[in-house]
């Protein structure tokens, strides 16, 4: 398989593939346990960005366009069946831009997009000045909570985490949405109930980015609600995607 993707529990007979895009500072391993919580008709594949874990020796991408081009160039073989994209935080922007960049002949394979804890592209903005520099990055990440906050609090892992976070925050700071045609697939924007970084009202702005159906869902938790409420999220994903898998199986 391409170095860009990890499938921790291969399901060759699955009717649908869920492709997951990690948050800033995150890696494919964030989605390692998802397959166990989803029906066997869904296979989970996670994107492994350069510069982390087993790709630590690969330079992080210089900007969002570079990252998107790298993923898009390798994703074709994964679109041999219906797929859904799930992108958390920064990964919501990455997933959206990859969806836009798919070659025209591959776009019908994308049957659903889940931006998670991420503002709509036109609302994305650079981090505030107080979060510049290493100390600012650490304060920002710690404030989001979840496992990411624990990681940067660990002295021995902090510098390794900062190496990735510096690169990812540069992608966020330099990202500028370019208007274009909306997606054709349904979109479900998901937020945590007390996430100040992306509220339910923020998520509503994703409605203009698709010509398909739009839904907005709120689950209990903060920015990393997917760590504190995994069962609720897996139920939402399964309920949304199982009708697609049933149609694909016919």
Q: What confidence category does residue 33 fall into, taking pLDDT thresholds of 50, 70 and 90?
A: very high
**Is residue 47 within 8 Å of residue 55, measured between CB atoms?**
no
pLDDT in tens, 44-91: 999 999 999 999 999 999 999 999 999 999 999 999 999 999 999 999
**Distance, CA of 174 to CA of 168 (rounded, Å):** 10
pLDDT at 248: 63
- For residue 159, the model assigns a pLDDT of 78
Q: Is residue 1 very low, low, confident or very high in pLDDT (cuts 50, 70, 90)? A: confident
For position 59, what pLDDT does the model report?
A: 94
Positions annotated as catalytic residues are 89
Radius of gyration of the chain (CA): 17
Alpha carbons 143 and 194: distance in angstroms, whole number? 13
Q: Is the pTM of this model over 0.85?
A: yes
Greater model confidence, 135 or 172: 172
Whole-number pLDDT of residue 118: 97
For residue range 134-167, list pLDDT tens digits in order. Answer: 888 888 888 887 666 566 666 667 777 888 999 9
- Residue 137: the pLDDT is 85
pLDDT for residue 247 is more than 90:
no
């Amino acid at each position: 398989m391409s170095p860009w993707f990890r499938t921790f529990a291969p399901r060759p007979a699955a009717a649908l593939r869920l492709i997951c895009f990690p948050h800033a500072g995150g890696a494919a391993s964030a989605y390692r346990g998802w397959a166990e919580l989803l029906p066997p008709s869904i296979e989970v594949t996670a994107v492994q960005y350069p510069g982390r874990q087993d790709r630590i020796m690969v330079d992080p991408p210089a900007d969002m366009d570079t990252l998107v081009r790298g993923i898009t160039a390798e994703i074709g073989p994964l679109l041999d069946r219906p797929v859904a994209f799930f992108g958390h935080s920064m990964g919501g922007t990455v997933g959206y831009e990859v969806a836009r960049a798919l070659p025209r002949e591959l776009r019908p394979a994308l049957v659903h997009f889940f931006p998670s804890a991420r503002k709509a592209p036109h609302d994305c903005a650079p981090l505030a000045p107080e979060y510049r520099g290493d100390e600012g990055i650490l304060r920002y990440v710690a404030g989001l909570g979840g496992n990411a906050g624990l990681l940067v609090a660990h002295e021995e892992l902090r510098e390794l985490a900062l190496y990735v976070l510096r690169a990812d925050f540069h992608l966020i700071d330099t990202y500028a949405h370019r208007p274009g045609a909306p997606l054709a697939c349904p979109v479900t924007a998901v937020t945590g109930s007390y996430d100040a970084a992306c509220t339910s009202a923020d998520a509503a702005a994703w409605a203009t980015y698709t010509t398909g159906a739009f839904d907005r869902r709120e689950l209990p938790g903060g920015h990393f609600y997917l760590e504190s409420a995994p069962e609720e999220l897996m139920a939402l994903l399964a309920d949304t995607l199982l009708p697609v898998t049933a149609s694909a199986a016919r």
